[in-house]
A and B are shown apart, each in its own frame.
Chain A
Amino acid sequence: MTPEEIHSLLAETFPDDVLAWDPSAKDPFVVIRPDGTPGVMRFLKEDPRTAFDFLDNLSGVDLGERLCVVYHLFSFAHRHRFVVKVEARRDDPRVPTAALIWRGARWFEREAYDLIGIQFVGHPDLRRIMLPDDWEGHPLRKDYVYPTHYAGIDNRREYD
């Protein structure tokens, strides 16, 4: 199926959840409402026409006003690809988890939480993965301030 066909299938199955559609991008993507994520994702995985059984990539992106989760999906049965984006508010970034749908999403979502700070609601084990457990802040955000201390130790250099 082409991305347009998948989009129209989604639009008729989940009319309230599809917020935007950009067919002119190099990888056409659809933006869906955060609350509709579990339904849409499960549909995309289990419906035999789409059959997206492979979660290729899950990225957290800081778009400035909002935070965004980008899902790149692939289907081995039909050999087609699709991109889904879910945007979350910056001050309370909560997105339902996809870890119960694709088990590969567990670690992808842990990384997005660790580095961008998106809370994945319903994730079985949401904790930091790359950074130490007591790190403060989410480094890949655009407004991240590099810490001056870690565990009480000053890490600024003194230049003479």
Chain B
Amino acid sequence: MKPLLDSLIARFGITDPGLTLGVYATGMVVFCAIVLMGFVAPAAGIISFIERRIAARMQSRVGPNRVGPQGVIQWVADGLKCLLKEDLIPTEADHLLFRIAPYLVFIGMFGAFVVIPFGSSLVIADLDVGLFYLLGITSLVSVGLIMAGWASNNKWSLLGGMRAAAQIVSYEIPAGLSLLTVILFAGTMSVQGVIRSQGWAPHTWLMFQNPFLFASYFIFFTAALAEGNRTPFDIPEAESELVAGYNTEYSGMRFALFFLAEWANLYIIGAVSAAVFMGGWQLPPGVPDAVRPVAELLLFLGKSSIGVFLAIWVRWTFPRLRVDQMMEVCWKYLIPISFANVVGTAVWMVFLPKGQLPASAASFVMVALAAFLVVLFVRRVRMNLRESDMPIHLNPFV
């Protein structure tokens, strides 16, 4: 990249050091944006395809399997279709806001990818205030949604936009407080710093360090689902009630942008929870250095897929909460519990300092507890399968 920028500077004969720095900076930014777009857009598309397949298998049907082998280029076909559709803007709609809204949503989501570390040196910008920046940039999404709801000049879209506003703004608080417990414990707001404060083994992950952080993980996951308008919190885009809520009047690529943002947001939920709570890209020490970056990347992608799968699973199992129930869950349950988590973590840190025996023993106990819960879950699943007596098709490539 640097030689290319150097040749550019020589061509235009730029000697001013400030300007040179500007060219370097702009060049790097453009390059990073292109690389990131090259990851985010296909990732969103692939996640949309995976979601449809998983949803279908959960509903005892097959899902898209025609376009390409096993339907793997379905998302390309959908994207092309959206590009080719007529771009319809209702006459009475507020044209400027109508056009801006999808971009704001997209920027809010895309900006969050900047701080997500895919490896020990694979991060666009390891900001010192990484987690704080994350919370801030994702708030742009709510601005975009309200704009979309208002600009559509449609009462149902307005309702969807209002609901979205209330929901996203409310659920910022539990999400932020859960991340606050992490920041307290790790001592830094930078995402790479949080990952480096963990290790590769489960008992070093932040999730298992103390019960308050364990609870924080689930609260963060729930609040992130609500931020991303995923069921059970998908009232703003409730299909059977509002057609598509704030999306109703959008068609073609603008519509696709909203959904791109939603699927990419799904990845962010998985990625942030994996990075911050589950050790991120930390590898065991025995991996050779040549392979290290790729291995870290794959491990991180794998861990974030767990979060993505959980979100998809939850979406296709649960009904949606009503607006007042959703607000009640946030304000009456999640926020007091997250405050308790913050205080509890602080108290824990005072009485059981890191590095000493009681704290490490506690983390082993937490891991054992989590493993026990997983075992209970597996047993329950097997009991369900036995009782329903139905043929089970585990082959995903039906």
In the complex they form, do A and B come into direct contact, defined as C-beta atoms under 8 angstroms apart? Answer: no
